[in-house]
Chains A and B, each alone.
Chain A
Amino acid sequence: MSAYSVNISVEAPVENQIQEITYDGQEIYTPPLTMSEHLTKLAQKIDFAKCGPEELNKEITEIDKNEDEAEQSTAPPLWPWDSVRNKLRNALTEVSVLADVLSIAKEKHYMVLDPVPQEPPELKPMVQVYARKKALAGAASVLLSGADRLKNLQAEALRNRTTPDFHIELLRLRQNFRLKKVSNSIVGDLSYRTAGSKFAQNGTFEVTKAEEDGDSPLSPPCSPNASLSNKPTSALRVTVPSELQGVAFIKVFFQKDQDSLTAAQLNLPSSSTANAIPDMYWQPKLEAAQNVLFCKELFNQLAKDAVQLQSPIPHIVVGNQIIASVLPGIQLVIGLCHSGVSTDGKTAVVPPSSNGHDHVLEHSLHQLLRELHHKNTHHPFPHPSSGPIGPSKRRRLAGPCAVDREELMQMTQSETMLEQVIKQAQHINLRDRTLFVLDRLAKDIKDPLITSHWNALNSPTQSCVKINIVAHMYDTICRTSLLIHVNETTLKCITRDGRVIHMSYESQELRDFIMCQVYLHQMTAVQNLAKCMGWQCLANSAQLGVGAVEPFGNASSCVLASPTGERLISVRCEPKSGVHVTIAQSPRKDFFPGQLVKERKWENLGGSFKEVRWDKMEGKNFLNKMELLMASLTSS
């Protein structure tokens, strides 16, 4: 027993009637009725005469009433069940009579029911005809009056075609939006709740009959040209909640790092086209309100994500803008522009970067929110259908496939909308940079031609480009191909010989890499050309360890010998300073027997290498020059 319990006693109230109060205040109660007395009292209340069809019992009730009166006139009955007994006896009599009649009618053994022939009624044909004619006339008059009424309505509708009917308009409205009748007003819903949105803001609008315009009947007679009025009037007026009025859109653009955040405008101002006509036709008005709701939900979701996400540079939510950093130095700004109908009197201020907003990202944002809605309504269906709804197919298969803990963890991670948009923005940025670098290189480097083919089909977070390096007119001799995958913040380059190189978003890395590839191409091309010309490649090295250290990449070189062996060409390619070509002659021209080296035969050891003045050399490009050089050395 706890200390807080209280004992409560329950008593029935005193029900017995007080018979007498004695002089000393004592109350004497009437003794309570015994069970039999109680039953008698209730039985007396039953009136057996009142149950049953009235026609049969009408006479019986009369008789009974007489009997009751007779009984009441005498002293109260000795036996309380007397009246009950009498009534039951009467009922028994009636029932037996009925039983007798039924047995006679059915069995026909000793007595039969015989109909009494009656005279047929007189037929008066003329009276019948007149009666029928009157009846038909009455029906015809009803139908005619109805038809007249319909004809009048239609004629009126034809005449007043310009003012459309409220109900027709309502029907058309109902085809597009969900309407409901609440007490005596019509209320509609323009939110995305049925599509899967969980946004809390209300999207109800009210539909009312538009008041009659005073001057509209006057204008047609005055100016027959203006029969088509500029403002389309409609029979119904739609009232949209104040926070959804006007036009809204989401604006996404990039901006370079700004020193102070106060430079960011708090209110991205409205466009000047929203001079709303109060009596605007309801369809665009409702669509605009729905768009406002969608944009609000989108911005709300993004703002929530921005606040919850942990990132190295935190996202900023200021007013109606979200600023997220995409790459160091570049920020993504997502803003909600909402122009209300209420006239502020302020003129619109043009924002500084009004022409740079990214339509693709805005469309992506819309798509992402729609995807969210879709996921809320469409749940993956389980097989067998008795399984739980909720887990995706992969999660359901995780059990029977004995999936690891790490994979299960990965399944639980999902990306928020803001993260996805940031990834897309990063990819767009990196793709633009890569494009710029490749185009610049193609413009700057004329000698081997660099062509880039971008894939037509890409994903929002990955693109691919194929780069070909060929020398003009020597594309059959040698062609270097590269494939670059552009991801969000990294580049992956795959060369023909199977090397995979991962680069970051710095464009200098890509530039250096392509330069190295260009010079490697030159070297390979020279060797292939030598094969074509009949020259022999004595030695080659792709990563040369002699000479000055290069700032990026390595020098490469090769030594070629002429078909007769008399001439040698040495080519050295340096990514920084270009190509150096030197030639040597095998029997030395400048051999003079000296003190140490006396015999003639030593002239065959070959002379020293002398550099060729490459800029003076004839030929359109490097390979052309090499070809001409080889040709001239072979012949002389």
Chain B
Amino acid sequence: MGLLPLLLRGAPKRFLRASGSYRSLYESNSRRRRHGTDAAAADQAVNSRADHRPDDQMLDFPGAKAAFTSRMEFISPNAAEAVPCFRILDDLGRALDGSDIPEVDSSLAVKMYHTMVRLQTFDSIFYEAQRQGRISFYLTNIGEEALNVASAAALTKDDVVFPQYREHGVLMWRGFTLDEFANQCFSNEAGHGKGRQMPIHYGSEKLNYFTISSPIATQLPHAVGAAYGLKMDRKNACAVTYFGDGGSSEGDFHAACNFAAVLEAPVLFVCRNNGYAISTPACEQYKGDGIVVRGRGYGMTSIRVDGNDALAVFKAVSAARKLAVEQSKPVLIEAMTYRVGHHSTSDDSTKYRSGEEIAHWRSVRDPVLRFRRWLESNAWWSVEDEKELRGAARKEVISAMNQAEKKNKPPLSELFTDVYDTLPRNLLEQEATLRDTVSKNPPSLAPH
């Protein structure tokens, strides 16, 4: 009870986070002292309210304005039905009856397909490269190619992207070259990030794609701040941030959604619900109906979409972007998909899911094949095109890999730069000491 004596002595309560009960006690005491004659008026007001029938009264608490009910009814944890999932193409790539196909002409569709295939090819070759010990680590996008590419295609180059780490297709769509991907993976002197981070931690200032970092969901509040800045600068652009089903459990998800809604930031929250967070299945990640239902909790527009349907993703993200930019509001998009690959090269997912399950999603439910079928049905793609593209992509990726492998690693000076904008004295001293150590030791320790 240590706080109460201080309050009653009139100590400045702004120094303390007074709990609600202490504050109301303090305020009701002071009200009675100061407003003696008004007490009668207050009583009269209360009595006149009581004359009305209970059902006519609206509660006008600062926290919510809601109608009364005299029936105690708990809201059940789940709605009668799960939030439906928007799709345009069926699993075989055929437009469903009543679908409203978005405006995707042949050149856009073919470009999207090219990117998906290049991404698939890059993933499979670089995964193997890690297995052969040529790079230290790799992480694939298998199963999420359509989600990556179609969402990216619905954005403009001025929209700023805050990725998690399984969105290389977004970067590829924007124009990051195979050489740039390979350089970063081989940590050479030309690679983004100057060799400081593990492979796949890409980024590009030119392409408005913020650097990937391993901690989960930390990018979500960044995206909100960036979006707020875009709004204040009156740019025709939004921020877009990606995260997984696992990421939605982080505190930063809650923080970001709430801030975005309250501060009216034009940001798209794209949840890649791919069913697994490393080995943790979605049923061990949340108890509600996925992530889409949380949108309403924050006062945010939301939608659930089939993340393996490129057209549905394209349409939903286009519409969401328009809403965000025109109305300065956030939108939550839950894209349902499946992580076909292992979490990364440090994972063997057959330890926690069946080979049959993986094979099913890799083949029958492959989003790239599904989109290809739609292209073929429009006569925009053929078996020859496929063979040619696959062959060319493979050649290009292998060439990029070989080039990147040959390049030098970054110079030692890059260990110390960019900690601050300029090197402070402690780092200058440490660099001098390190160079001294290196020069006195066998050549194998010495980089150039």
Co-complex (A, B): no
A residues with CB within 8 A of B: none
